[in-house]
Structure 1
Amino acid sequence: MTLLTNASEFPADTKVRFHFVAQLITRNPDEEIVLGKVIDDNRNYTQPIEILIGKKFKLEVWETMVQAMAVNEVAEFYVDKTLCLTYTLVAKTLRDAYSKDKPKTQTWQMDENERINALPRLRLEGNELYQEKKNSDASKIYAQAIGIIEQLQLKEKPGEQECQALADMKIPFLLNYSQCQLLMGNHYEVIEQCSQVLFQQPNNVKANFRRGMAHLNTWNPTEAKNDFEKAALIDPSLAKTVQQQLSELEEMIKEKNKSDKARLSQAFGSKT
């Protein structure tokens, strides 16, 4: 990613403008970095990207990178894929907001009221697709709604009433999106989206339970146990379901310990 900043200092709420190129990288057998396909190049957009420092931009690693740069510096950063799990959603938001080539029907050309008024329709469309078990299509609708809200958030300062209202408005879409992603097996995406919800609403039972399921399926046993137990504490009616998941987790841990013990025994077998 290549960034060009136009800000002289970086206290909270500083507006930073930059260009970026996002590119896949691989490593050859000698561990040398090999540049691959260009995913995005915002020189094709209508203007540089703008973020406010300290606003907890959805792709937080960008803030970290920008703040490591000098004014007008051009720099390259190599970022582990685990820090870019939300890139697809973020990139779609930015394209909708800045792309030169979007057709007239796209939401980026709507005014603020039109965008807000589109949200109930998108939620209904997404819900209907979800009921029809079209999880991928529903996810795209929910992602579109999330993108609209995030475009509106770009104009607001953190902590202000308008910004918080938009954050609250985004929560149902994040929950619906995470449910679709859970059913599709995209567990790291579920963890990211549910964590966004829990940052705003720590006692949201759906977010705790779904993140627990995602942690269970990505072998994060401690995190899964914490989320499941909190979900049951918030909603006692989930106690039986949570206990079933915890029992499954315990069995997984036992099997893993048994497998690890057998592997170690094979590797360091007793001497004869």
Structure 2
Amino acid sequence: MMLSPTRACSPVTFHFRTQLCDDDRTVIDDSKVAGTPMEIVIGNMFKLDVWETLLASMRIGEVAEFWCDTIHTGVYPLVSKSMRRITEGKDPVDWHIHTCGMANMFAYHSLGYDDLDELMKEPKPLYFVLELLRVQQPSEYNRESWALSDEERLKVVPVLHGQGNKLYKQGHYQEATQKYKEAIICIKNVQTKKKAWEVQWLKLEKMANTLTLNYCQCLLRMEEYYEVIEHTSDIINQHPGVVKAFYLRGKAHLEVWNEAEAQQDFSRVLDLDPSMKKAVKKNLAVLTMRMEEKNQEDRDTYKGMF
């Protein structure tokens, strides 16, 4: 059985092996060696979205090898880090260190694994060897939206949106992301039946982007900065006039010490919406302060070394 568009949101279980494109085909990760197969939910905004596309082309029991360019592999180190921590019995997001200055910079730029740090610094094409083990039917997966018609799905979207906003205001960011994702899934299920870039499709796209940006606001609070950059960049690439996407990406770049990128995004915010001047000025002041702090720590650290 192959996955089809109608089976979006189906949980799939699979083994994977990730290899470098070098002469030795160096293995980075192997779920069989780790002893734990991977499970993701198709259409549930998995960070490494190319895996969803690849798995959807496979049949149960099939083993297939795929070569993927850097445009698809840039976030792999983040995914690998989470999977390795789970295999080690650790919290997959417990790597964030709440410090300041230079220590903070190094904390955000290190994933805790030398090979992944190298891949993050210099993304490379990768081979993925996937073995599809199981595909659950929607009826096996407890998701009420599958029982809804398209009309009912669109009616439940504002309800989920409101619930997500309420949870966000209460500081329950993880729970809010689930509500936003549920609403996005409902919209995407309907959108797949529309002709791309026509009026109805664009209306649904705007709704999904609004929810995705709310989702990104939660990720900022949860310190998942690279995922924010990924999702906002996707929106910007398709819709370069979305102010909030530039603003949230700028804040994420600020948090991971990408000074030039943050300044560019905030500058674009002002071009698109001059009324955001006060908020942008505040963020740029924070960025300037942090960079001055880092430069001073650099001077203190290397003083007298040469």
Give me the TM-score of the superposition, normalised by structure 2.
0.59
Indicate conservation of the 8 Å contact 1:96/1:107, yes or no. no
2:126 aligned with 1:136, yes or no?
no
Residue equivalent to 1:230: 268
Corresponding residue pairs, total:
228
Q: CA deviation at 1:216?
A: 0.6
Residue equivalent to 1:39: 38
2:239 aligned with 1:249, yes or no?
no
Paired amino acid for 1:228 = F
Q: CA deviation at 1:160?
A: 3.7
Structure 2 unaligned residues grouped into runs of 5+: 5-11, 21-25, 83-133
Q: CA deviation at 1:263?
A: 5.5
Residue equivalent to 1:15: none
Residue equivalent to 1:53: none
Indicate conservation of the 8 Å contact 2:16/2:30, yes or no. no
Q: What are the equivalent positions in structure 2 for 1:188-203 lying under 5 Å apart? A: 188-203=226-241
2:10 aligned with 1:21, yes or no?
no
Paired amino acid for 1:61 = V
Paired amino acid for 1:220 = N
2:68 aligned with 1:75, yes or no?
no
Indicate conservation of the 8 Å contact 2:184/2:212, yes or no. yes
Q: CA deviation at 1:211?
A: 1.1
Indicate conservation of the 8 Å contact 2:13/2:37, yes or no. no
SS in 1 for 2:141: coil
Deviations 1:27-80 (A, max 9, x none): 9xx9764423222279xxxxxx89xxxxxx9955359869xx9xx982256885
Residue equivalent to 2:206: 168
43, 58, 61: which is aligned to 2:50? 61
Structure 1 unaligned residues grouped into runs of 5+: 7-18, 43-48, 51-56, 89-94
112, 115, 119: which is aligned to 2:150? 112
SS in 1 for 2:196: coil
Q: CA deviation at 1:23?
A: 4.3
Residue equivalent to 1:12: none
Indicate conservation of the 8 Å contact 2:17/2:29, yes or no. no
Deviations 1:165-217 (A, max 9, x none): 32122122112211122122221222223223334442322222111111111
2:140 aligned with 1:101, yes or no?
yes
Residue equivalent to 1:215: 253
Q: CA deviation at 1:157?
A: 4.5
Give me the TM-score of the superposition, normalised by structure 1.
0.65
Q: Distance in 1 between matches of 2:290 and 2:77?
A: 28
Q: Distance in 1 between matches of 2:28 and 2:161?
A: 46
SS in 1 for 2:197: coil
SS in 2 for 1:21: strand
Q: Which has the higher contact order (CA 8 A, sep 6+)?
A: 2
Relative distance call for 1:170 and 1:131 in structure 2 (3 A) is same
Relative distance call for 1:193 and 1:127 in structure 2 (3 A) is same
Q: CA deviation at 1:25?
A: 6.7
SS in 2 for 1:185: coil
Indicate conservation of the 8 Å contact 1:86/1:189, yes or no. no
Q: Distance in 2 between matches of 1:157 and 1:59?
A: 26
Indicate conservation of the 8 Å contact 1:61/1:83, yes or no. no
Indicate conservation of the 8 Å contact 2:253/2:262, yes or no. yes
Q: Distance in 1 between matches of 2:302 and 2:216?
A: 38
Paired amino acid for 2:65 = A
Indicate conservation of the 8 Å contact 1:209/1:227, yes or no. yes
